[in-house]
Amino acid sequence: MAQNLVVGLGVTGLSIVRYLKAQGIPCVVVDSREHPPQLAQLKSEHPDIPVVLGAFDHALFETAETLILSPGISPHEPIILQQMKRGVPVIGDIELFARINQTPVIAITGTNAKSTVTTLVGLMAKACGYRVAVGGNLGVPALDLLVEIETDLFVLELSSFQLETTYSLHAKIATILNITPDHLDRHETLLAYCQAKQRIYQHCELAVCNRDDRLTEATLPCKLYFTSHVPQEGEFGLLKVNGKTHLAFGDQPLLAIDVLPVLGGHYYMNALAALCIGYGYGFSMERMLQVLREFKGLPHRCELIRVHRQIGWYNDSKGTNVGATEAAIRGLGDSCDCGKLILIAGGVGKGADFSVLLPMVKQYVRHVILMGEAAQEIAQVIQGEVSCTLVGSMQDAVETANQVALPYDHVLLSPACASLDMFRNFEHRGEVFSELVRAL
């Protein structure tokens, strides 16, 4: 009997089941893990939904009329490709969302800063009086947002994994904030990764592009731009007025960066991107700027944990790729006038090229502390350029940093790697670091 297979039982997979059940669409859940994380909740909420666990059953997949993949499941898995060859549709949660949704959508992707910009745009929309729902790859899955009774606007963070299986999304505004190599263990090439990201522009009405990153460019007639340089007419960028750098629109200064609660050039780009998106949608400039004056950043993103012995300790555990860590080093290094950085890095490398970090490390970093699977690989790149210590735990990393840091230095946890070799997720890694720092 033909049936809908939900492949993968994580948070998104469970949201897919909830949606299908509410629509009266029967489904079977499959997961290659014997104990997927949402199994108990699925059995509690929907005990009637069949679940097949363990190694994928080829015979079961042959009965599928549609495969609905969780983001963690690659559409390039051999068993998925076999079904695609016989014409079985392969979709994801965002495709289901797009097929039923009638409310305007702002769609946001990029290698880094997705969550910060999505949060900022959501806060700006709320400040402007919109009934806004924020989610997707951040917080609440998109399909769970559909239960909101009265919503004027959806602001969705979308990952490359979600975009791979999305075909029908018609966003009012779509943006790719930036692209640097990431998830190459899944996408294999930077081109394939870019192509997945570019899918966000399909059917969108207005594209918001990063003038500094040609990989974010959209082949659409309606575009707005933001840049870290002096903006051209109609662009958002940085403008120096009377010796002070301002967020600006064209030649009009909007807000001095020294009033922003969050430091760093990478954050200024996030603020400019959010302003550009909000401007494109018609948000009040005054209310958007007020949000920027008040926003203190998200946890695990260059988050100041404490100042101890005149040393600042920063948690950037969300720096799970080389591009994010490069931006964090530059942003924090530029604000560290009298000292240097002590960098804690390492974890699961995901096929990254760590040599990209070397110029920033040489310019801003006094000492590098490495841990996790990729420690030796990173050490081979930087040894001889900057002093380096390899450690076996986060506790050892914090203790070493406390020993080598000097007054006015900043200690920065920005791993440039995934966390799953030593921690449950990047949040857990950041929490362990923060607890150890507070205990010093």
Do 284 and 184 lie in one domain? The reply is yes
pLDDT tens profile 83-122:
999 999 999 999 999 999 999 999 999 999 999 999 999 9
We report the CATH number of the domain holding residue 145 as 3.40.1190.10
Which one of 4, 112, 137, 321 is the catalytic residue?
Answer: 137
Do 208 and 227 lie in one domain? The reply is yes
Q: What pLDDT shows up at residue 337?
A: 76
Do 283 and 422 lie in one domain? The reply is no
Which one of 4, 101, 178, 183 is the catalytic residue?
Answer: 183
Do 339 and 422 lie in one domain? The reply is yes
* Token pair listed for 127: 């400040």
Cα distance between residue 325 and residue 349, in whole Å: 13
On the question of pLDDT at 135 being above 80, the answer is yes
Q: What pLDDT shows up at residue 150?
A: 87
Do 429 and 309 lie in one domain? The reply is yes
Q: What pLDDT shows up at residue 1?
A: 58
On the question of pLDDT at 25 being above 70, the answer is yes
Confidence at 334, pLDDT banded by 50, 70, 90: confident
Percent of the chain with pLDDT over 70: 99
Do 322 and 212 lie in one domain? The reply is no
Confidence at 149, pLDDT banded by 50, 70, 90: confident
Do 286 and 391 lie in one domain? The reply is no
Which residues lie below 8 Å from residue 328, measured CB to CB, with a gap of 6+? 264, 266, 302, 314, 316, 319, 412, 414
Residues forming a β-bridge with 247: 238, 255
Confidence at 2, pLDDT banded by 50, 70, 90: low
- Of 60, 88, 116, at which residue does a domain stop? 88
Do 212 and 160 lie in one domain? The reply is yes
We report the CATH number of the domain holding residue 319 as 3.90.190.20
Do 231 and 349 lie in one domain? The reply is no
pLDDT tens profile 364-391:
999 999 999 999 999 999 988 999 999 9
DSSP for 192-252, written as a single string: HHHHHHHGGGTT-SEEEEETT-GGG---SSSEEEE-SS---TT-EEEEEETTEEEEEETTE
pTM, to two decimals: 0.90
183 is catalytic: yes
Percent of the chain with pLDDT over 90: 90
- Of 255, 270, 294, at which residue does a domain stop? 294
114 is catalytic: yes
Do 106 and 252 lie in one domain? The reply is yes
Which one of 114, 246, 318, 410 is the catalytic residue?
Answer: 114
On the question of pLDDT at 131 being above 90, the answer is yes
- Of 294, 315, 350, at which residue does a domain stop? 294
Do 231 and 103 lie in one domain? The reply is yes
On the question of pLDDT at 277 being above 80, the answer is yes
Q: What pLDDT shows up at residue 187?
A: 79
pLDDT tens profile 242-260:
999 999 999 999 999 999 9
Q: Check residues 115 and 264 and name the one with the higher pLDDT.
A: 115
Provide the total of helices (H) and of strands (E) in the chain, helices listed first: 17, 20
Q: How many domains, in total, are found in the chain?
A: 3
Helix axes 322-335 and 265-281, enclosed angle (nearest 10): 110
We report the CATH number of the domain holding residue 71 as 3.40.50.720
What mean pLDDT comes out for the span 179-193?
A: 82
Cα distance between residue 395 and residue 345, in whole Å: 13
Do 125 and 157 lie in one domain? The reply is yes
Q: What pLDDT shows up at residue 265?
A: 86
* Token pair listed for 71: 């983001």
Range of the domain at 426: 303-438
Residues forming a β-bridge with 307: 312
137 is catalytic: yes
* Token pair listed for 1: 């009997």
Q: What pLDDT shows up at residue 207?
A: 98
